[in-house]
């Protein structure tokens, strides 16, 4: 079970790094599409997706990685 969790978190961290390369406007909306999220998606919506889909916490599991 731990291996599955580690793989999932590894994937989340990889995608998080990709998201870090996406430009964001002054309203905190992405300016390029990211995976299934179109241009104009609020960054907070994507963060919530990460937390729900990967069952992780942005602050504890992804930031600073």
Domain positions in the chain are 2-62
pLDDT on residue 12: 93
62: confidence class by pLDDT, cuts 50, 70, 90: confident
pLDDT on residue 1: 47
Comparing CA positions, the residue from 52, 41, 50 lying closest to residue 12 is: 50
Q: Would you say residue 10 has pLDDT above 60?
A: yes
CB atoms within 10 A of CB 56: 18
pLDDT per position as a tens digit, 11-46:
999 999 999 999 999 999 999 999 999 999 999 999
């Amino acid at each position: 079970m731990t291996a599955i969790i580690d793989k999932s978190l590894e994937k989340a961290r990889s995608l998080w790094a990709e998201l870090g390369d996406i430009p964001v406007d002054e309203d905190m909306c992405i300016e390029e599409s990211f995976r299934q999220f179109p241009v104009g998606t609020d960054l907070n919506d994507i963060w919530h997706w990460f937390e729900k889909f990967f069952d992780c916490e942005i602050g504890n599991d992804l930031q600073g990685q």
